[in-house]
């Protein structure tokens, strides 16, 4: 039997959220299906290579695709992250390589896959709370600058006292936006700035590693560190599941 990730305690938490959503029936095989999705995310193998212990690979994929369309996995993440400690917010972006099998989706959209010198890639824009746990994220093409999604990250997070980011977010417009949201920006200016960084809270800035730690944790899953999903919706759902696994220890007995 392949290694599993869900204990009775963690499954009790996840199953309650899934069934209370009103968009999924209480079926006994859902736990085994979710284990199959987690196995795929952890190992990065093709769907067709899923061990038969989880059931038919086609059935697991169809259910994952259905849950992705319904937003079930995103709802799991939102439900578990609702008690985030929003005193501080840390934002950053991280690039993941898009495997060649993730390209060529039959849609008019770019599916958040961009081309650059390094090849095809996707960027994850993430906001974490005071404890380094994820609260909101977005996807874009890998060649998109971090600042493009900065205001959206701040606007979609619950109200916080401080917003911390690195020099890549150096923008007076962003600082003004953060202040308009009743928060204090802690964003260093670049070396060629005429204003300088005398007003920066460097003690607070040292905690910015929390968002980097979050990226490091989800990239332990090979299905996250390399994107294999053709559809942005499905990769977004896979990320939601990875972030849900980060939150589960806070809820499970």
Length, in residues, of the chain: 253
The reply to whether 156 falls in a domain is yes
Q: Which CATH number do you get for residue 185? A: 3.30.420
How does residue 253 score in pLDDT terms, banded at 50, 70 and 90?
low
The reply to whether 183 falls in a domain is yes
**In whole numbers, what is the pLDDT of the chain averaged over residues?**
93
How many domains is the chain built from? 1
Are 80 and 251 a contacting pair, CB within 8 Å? yes
State how far the Cα of 99 lies from the Cα of 187, in Å rounded to an integer: 33
Residue spans of alpha helices (H) in the chain:
8-20, 30-43, 57-70, 72-80, 150-155, 172-180, 202-205, 209-218, 222-225, 232-247
The reply to whether 107 falls in a domain is yes
- What is the extent of the structural domain holding 149? 83-228
The reply to whether 135 falls in a domain is yes
- At 94, give phi and psi (nearest 5°): -145, 140
The reply to whether 211 falls in a domain is yes
* Residue range 123-151, pLDDT digits in tens: 999 999 999 999 999 999 999 999 999 99
The reply to whether 98 falls in a domain is yes
* Residue range 45-85, pLDDT digits in tens: 999 999 999 999 999 999 999 999 999 999 999 999 999 99
Structure tokens that stand for 47 in this block:
């769907």
Are 136 and 90 a contacting pair, CB within 8 Å? no
The reply to whether 14 falls in a domain is no
Residue scoring higher pLDDT (73 or 105): 73
The reply to whether 218 falls in a domain is yes
What is the DSSP-derived secondary structure letter of residue 195?
A: S
What SS3 class is residue 151? Answer: helix
Structure tokens that stand for 153 in this block:
């990250």
pTM of the full predicted structure? Answer: 0.94
Which of 149, 65, 71 minimizes the C-alpha distance to 105?
65
Cβ-proximal residues to 99 (8 Å cutoff; 6+ apart), any chain: 226, 227, 228
* Residue range 210-237, pLDDT digits in tens: 999 999 999 999 999 999 999 999 999 9
């Amino acid at each position: 039997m392949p290694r599993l990730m869900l204990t009775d305690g963690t499954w009790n938490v996840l199953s309650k959220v899934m069934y209370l959503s009103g968009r999924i029936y209480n079926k006994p095989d859902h736990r085994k299906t979710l284990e199959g999705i987690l196995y795929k995310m952890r190992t990065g193998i093709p769907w067709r290579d899923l061990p038969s212990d989880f059931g038919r690979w086609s059935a697991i994929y169809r259910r994952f695709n259905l849950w992705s369309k319904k937003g079930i996995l995103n709802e799991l993440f939102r439900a578990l992250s609702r008690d985030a400690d929003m005193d501080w917010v840390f934002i950053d972006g991280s690039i993941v390589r898009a495997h060649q099998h993730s390209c060529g989706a039959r849609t008019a959209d770019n599916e958040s896959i961009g081309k650059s010198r390094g090849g095809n890639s996707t960027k994850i824009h993430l906001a974490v709370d005071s404890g380094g746990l994820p609260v909101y994220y977005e996807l874009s093409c890998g060649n998109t600058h971090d600042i493009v999604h900065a205001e959206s990250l701040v606007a979609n997070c619950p109200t916080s006292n401080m917003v911390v980011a690195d020099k890549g977010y150096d923008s007076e417009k962003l600082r003004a936006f953060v202040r308009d949201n009743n928060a204090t920006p802690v964003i260093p200016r670049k070396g060629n700035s005429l204003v300088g960084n005398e007003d920066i809270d460097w003690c607070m800035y040292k905690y910015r590693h929390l968002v980097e730690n979050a990226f490091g944790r989800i990239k332990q899953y090979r299905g996250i560190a390399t994107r294999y999903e053709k559809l942005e919706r499905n990769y977004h759902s896979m990320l939601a599941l990875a972030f849900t696994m980060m939150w589960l220890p806070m809820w499970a007995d």
